[in-house]
Structure 1
Amino acid sequence: MKKILIIEDEINLANSIELFFKNENFQLIVVHDGKKSIDKFYNEKPDLVLLDINLPNMNGWEICNEIRSNSDTPVIMMTARDSEYDELRGLELGADDYITKPINLKILLARVKRILKIDDKSSYYYNGLGFDSRTLELTINNEKIELSPKESQILEYFIRNKGLVLSREKLINKIWGFDYEGEDRAVDTIIKRLRKKMGIFSERIKTLRGIGYSYDEDKA
């Protein structure tokens, strides 16, 4: 799960960004004071910083300069100022991008994902359950759950084929390979373990008796 530090003194805006990005499976730290943000940055080590310019006690230009002097952590400047000078100044200080207010949260999300190189096909999140196929990390309501390699492979295959009926044979060929000579019930055992780890979301994996399984993300 990627961690974002929001440095913004407009509380309503900061809260809106925090809620929106939490629902997209990010971890958020929010600071409203410029000076306090420096300690938060070094203590929390975020993957990206969303930085306002007009802040109490220390402005965004100074914070960006401090961050860039000691780190290559991506920074997106956020400001109500809409001038070429401000944009150029931010980029010259080392900011990676610049967005003006009022902020469109979907556009901001797209920019964050681009900078962090998050591929929507590799990162899945829906209504409390998240899975990253690159790190094989499952999260249940922001709690990390450790999966075995086979559990990860099956969950990824379910998510990529949600709503489709997947037979045991198809799952075995995809996960174990066409030359697999073991018991076809091995897939049932792995799915049983996976369901247990999915907790309240276990019903998303539906058993179709005599046919196989399907993934229904609207369950739970």
Structure 2
Amino acid sequence: MKNESFDIETYDNGYDGYHGVIDNLPDLIILDIKMPRMDGMEVLKKLREKTDTPVIMLTSKEEEEDELSSFKIGADDYIKKPFSLNLLIARVKTIIRRSNSTLGNGNPKNKEDLSNIINKGFLKLDKNQHTCFWKDTPLSLTITEFLILLCLVERVGHIKTRNQLIDYAYGTMSSADDRMIDTHIKRLRKKFKEIDDGFDKIETMYGLGYRYKE
């Protein structure tokens, strides 16, 4: 991957990896579920207590249940082993690109662009800063959660199918499926309800998808 001009830090075990990442946050983290000293799920759980940095999980065929569990904890994507280096590079580039597009590529001028601020009642989203507020209280969202919410909010009252949400949040390179979208929606609702127990803006339209209520 260094041939793709990525600066890479590698670690032999989950414990060292966690502390190395926290001390110097990267643009993207790749975790193997099976690691010595601290497995990938535990590392992910601890990371999500500290940062919303995008995370790709590496899983094997027999770890399918772990895939859903990783999304419940806050993974952004996963890749099944064995996989080609080209696939990994493509997925890494996709996540970094969507993260940069949401964050405005760090351009200070973009950060002041009010056209990238979305206000819907008590909800405020800043597409450049990747920030979300509900009733003036900040929510900590992963890039995938933010993009799913953004997709719903951009057309309030309109139903978004799970496939539309997958395309918006992951792009065409992902193997994400309906269950992963459902898991992200559950996490979104949980985060809003931690602030406002009466939050009910994200509706399930059975057999169709989801919508953000007017």
Fold-level match, TM-score > 0.5?
A: no
Q: TM-score range by the shorter chain?
A: 0.3 to 0.5
* Structure 2 length-normalised TM: 0.44
Higher relative CO (CA 8 A, sep ≥ 6), structure 1 or 2? Answer: 2
